[in-house]
Structure 1
């Protein structure tokens, strides 16, 4: 194994001598962007703001060194944060049991990292392809709504009971709406409005969250701050992430296993999806397995530095690419920049008002709802819409991991249900002497002795019943003794399919006919060859082209019928 396989940063390190200026600018931009996000995401996870900073310092460096994408920025994200809160809050209250909550969050990060790493080493990168686009969009939309509603206590200044569900939050806010603190509401809505306005200003739009939070803090001071119940995030330690071995308690780890799997799977889907989205513009070739390893190592190593679970950030990755980053050095510069800010300017973060953060997080939640793709799904596919809605509603009313797995299962069910019914078209020859689907042209005529069909789809265990039923009808209701299958659309044949196919061939041969194949792919022939099914089917009945097949089959036809036939669709007939 080459050193570049073990240490992928050796691949891009030589490029730095020409790109360091671009990476420096992108890195500094990333530092500014991550400051408000780190605080907001830590709050979403139920953790003190400093843990958002710790996570944004360590994970980007490890992911940059060992990942695949040149532009992906890792760190705290909305999705990871909300999953961390949902998983840990079952076992510890973040307000009354903060130490235990933090400890479990760090152990959860380590466990998710180990799962990601093992999946990468086992080359399971293709697994993320089984999480459909609709599941991701539905989960993100549900998470966005959930995030927004969980911040309403900071927006209205109403003490919503801890651990309240989505429905309970709505109900509690409605019942206690008269308790709203208008000063708190003013700061939250003011910050939200400022963020919307600043985002529309071209030259400072990238910094809209940071500027809105600063102005929101000024607004809170002008309104009287703590005198009117406007809480701040409190003391933020001015130090680098401390090295501390996570508390590996077997019982805790057993309880967190399901959550760790969910977190790992979601984090990988998120990271790989973002890396792919950026790669569409950068034209970089990605390695999913390498990305899995990078994400896994970043979670494992960072957990020893008081960091919680992380993944790829769409916002920061997009900004990183647009700011001109050429190599992962920009992610490392961004992390180092944040270390400098925390060391020398942490005291200013302690003045951030929670209502201002609540207003910003409302916007974060709103941005997670991909209205464009949701409209596209509604218009294009009922099945995909069902998958989206099940995942979205599941995210709101069920456990997050249940919602995710439910969405994946339903999308896989629809996929299997669709592939279990391959399209089968009947072919004939039209007046222009062209073979085509008889449904497409009423003038197309069929040979009375040879049925020609085309199968579009795989012949596998899930599809055998449907295809078998079609063939039974064909056998019983059709006088043709010979069946020619145009096989270019058969993607693969599994063992169940091969066994059924060989039995079907024998059935047709018993009535002095046969089944013949044209254009059967090598991959489809593989199981037939290895399983010995070709002996039953007959190698002489598998043809490369249609003309050779028809010439061979014609010799087996009843010539008496051919003499009186008025159709004569084959050249041999004439």
Structure 2
């Protein structure tokens, strides 16, 4: 061989192959951003969505940046530029229709929360105005809702009895509203929206159904015109209190007749509106019509003198300031913080679910973190102006959407209508029977019980259905908070089980391609001779699942355990190389790193090599810092094929 040929051969040996270059790309990945940097970046995404795109300097750049911040915090500055008279006409009609529904509903929900009726109307003034400026949903209707009202009354009354001291109870509700708003705003600023996701769709379906039944049973008090005292919300305690009151206290059947008559009317209007979409306005105005007619009946017949329970005095005037009523130094402040956190999560879950549902129909995206921030600010402001927790209502949002609303101006129209009612019409509601408010609440409950969706969940995922059942029976037979805790605990149990025993796929090469797939899902895929390629179907390799993963891989590689059709297809011949595909893995902890080292040493003692493919940059960083890359001989590659070629020294063909 000539000197020139020797030089060319030497250059060929030193020139890295394509696979080696790809491996270097993996190992030389940049260091991932730290926790503090991620928090800063996430805050910038909320406050300054356009980032630092503007490279120019000077006053123009600063002013543009300020405008960008304001537009991000107040979306009204963006869509108001294209607002037209035609849109206002639609929003005006939608807002008036919305007001006709929200006024009687809000009075009923306030009584459900064990507050004076005017607080339900107050909650339809300040929060919707603030949301109109800060919220990004165009259709959502803000105000009090049944589930949150029940949650507040069931939890706060354990701290303070509303019958014994209604003023102290009211002040504690305002304080809970403040804490709920603080939590919601914090969730949005810190991008902690995933906390809301702990209440899964199945949990919400079960919780709503159980809460609807409990709310309906509690309305027997108003529907029958009876009085009973129980601080419990479970079905057995409520029914026992109702029957005890019926048998031991005098009651008037006129309440029941009046309430059931209008309940039938409300349900009939709901059916008519559902069958004929053009008549959507009938179920929307039916509650207001019921209140007006029933109030006239009681006033003209003086039915209140014959046992019909009426609302009596509703305080007129706009929201009074309630800053001095907040009980921040209360001995039970810790309990109030806990209640505020629970209420914040439940209210956010309902609002975001409602907002995203209608945003999908209209074809635009709803930013969950911005929604949390706007909900938090509006509830903080509400706590300072005699409101309790407000959120998005599904029934009122559906009415708003059907009425043809274009923007949140419909909420502003609703607010103006409620303000007029507070200033001029509250005296007319003096003779409104309690049975009508009960019937209005009961008529809205069927929408909270979704039997069809529960059946779909049962068909799709049995574990999700168990969480649904846990939430449903927990609310029904224990309490609202117990139902939530049971459901969340079952959801966590599902996550933990999946984390402890994650699925592990055995990969084979699809003939004619360079693609490696699960051999059980794709029977045509063939395992490379002498190579065991596995992929962990979990985003984490951590203390919870590390031992399970190591034992499973070592069994397959060393013991060559025969598996059935649901397990691994045994590789032909002796295993010489185990390739761990980390495509799905997003992070690994110190236990995972130690276990991976143990697996390497265990395989090495049997003469088997270990290689890693396609790790994420967070994983690569930890592999390098822990010196695990050096310990396994630098066998980190981009693909399984490259790992087999490099480790076994020849091309693998199927």
TM-score (norm 1): 0.89
424-433 or 473-482: bigger deviation: 424-433
2:152 equivalent among 84, 90, 97: 84
Task: Note the alpha carbon deviations across 1:45-77, whole angstroms, 9 max, x for none.
Answer: 111211111111111011222233233222111
Contact 2:139 2:407 in 1 (8 A): yes
Q: 1:11 corresponds to which residue?
A: 78
Partner of 1:199: 270
Q: Partner of 2:551: helix, strand, or coil?
A: helix
- Check the 8 A contact 2:225/2:309 in 1, yes or no: no
Alignment correspondent of 1:209: 287
Range moving further from structure 2, 7-16 or 184-193:
7-16
Give, in whole Å, the separation in 2 of the partners of 1:367 and 1:16: 33
Q: Is the 8 A contact 2:105 2:440 kept in 1?
A: no
Contact 2:579 2:640 in 1 (8 A): no
* 1:508 counterpart residue number: 603
Alpha-carbon offset, residue 220 of structure 1 = 5.3
What is the CA–CA distance in structure 2 between the aligned matches of 1:27 and 1:505, rounded to whole Å? 67
| Farther off after superposition, 84-93 or 379-388 | 84-93
In the TM superposition, residue 444 of structure 1 has moved relative to its aligned partner by 7.2
Q: How many residues align?
A: 559
**Which residue pairs with 1:168 in the alignment?**
237
**Conserved 8 A contact 1:488-1:519:** yes
Query: How far apart in 2 are the matches of 1:443 and 1:319?
Result: 54
Residue from 27, 35, 46 that aligns with 2:114: 46
Residues 1:469 and 2:540 aligned together: no
RMSD: 2.9
Contact kept? 2:137, 2:366, Cα under 8 Å: yes
> How far is 1:194 from its partner?
0.7
Deviation at 1:247, TM superposition (A): 2.1
Q: Any conservation in 2 of the 1:187–1:220 contact (CA below 8 Å)? A: no
Question: How big is the shift at 1:82?
Answer: 0.9
- Are the counterparts in 2 of residues 56 and 76 from structure 1 also a CA contact under 8 Å? yes
C-alpha distance after superposition, 1:173-221 (max 9, x if no partner): 3456556632221112112111111112232133233334444445656
- Structure-2 separation of matches of 1:431 and 1:535: 34
Q: Is the deviation greater in 71-80 or in 115-124?
A: 115-124
CA distance in 1, matches of 2:523, 2:313: 80
Q: What is the aligned counterpart of 1:109 among 162, 172, 177?
A: 177
SS of residue matched to 2:82:
helix
Pairing 1:281-300 to 2, within 5 Å after superposition: 281-300=361-380
* Secondary structure of the corresponding residue to residue 237 of structure 1: coil
For 1:355, the equivalent position in structure 2 comes to 435
Partner of 2:51: none
How far off is 1:35 after superposition?
1.0
CA distance in 1, matches of 2:265, 2:630: 75
SS at match of 1:38: helix
CA shift, 1:352, in A, is 1.6
Larger CA deviation: 66-75 vs 291-300: 66-75
Work out whether 1:230 is the aligned partner of 2:230.
Answer: no
For residue 70 of structure 1, give the secondary structure of its aligned residue in structure 2: coil
Using the alignment, how far apart are the partners of 2:271 and 2:525 within structure 1? 60
Instruction: Decide whether aligned partners of structure 1 residues 528 and 40 sit closer, same or farther in structure 2, where only a CA change above 3 A counts.
Output: same
- Give the corresponding residue for 1:564: none
What secondary structure sits across from 2:83 in the alignment? Answer: helix
TM-score, structure 2 as length reference? 0.78
Change in CA separation of 1:13 and 1:316 when aligned onto 2, cut-off 3 Å: same
Question: How far apart, in 2, do the equivalents of 1:219 and 1:208 lie?
Answer: 16
Unaligned runs of 5+ in 2: 1-65, 274-278, 561-573
Partners in 1 of 2:528 and 2:370 — Cα distance? 56
Structure 2 SS opposite 1:201: helix
Name the counterpart of 1:543: 637
Residue aligning to 1:152: 220
Superposition deviation, residue 275 in structure 1: 1.5
- For 1:111 and 1:447, locate their aligned partners in 2 and report how far apart those are by CA, in whole Å: 59
Conserved 8 A contact 2:119-2:387: yes
Runs (5+) with no aligned partner, structure 1: 557-568
**Post-superposition CA distance 1:112-170 (Å, at most 9, x none):** 22222233333323322232112222221221111111111222233322424421221
Q: Is the 8 A contact 2:154 2:232 kept in 1?
A: no
Shift of the 15–37 alpha-carbon distance from structure 1 to 2, 3 Å rule, reads farther
1:561 maps to none
Q: 2:129 aligns with which of 46, 49, 61?
A: 61
Matched, 1:278 2:358: yes
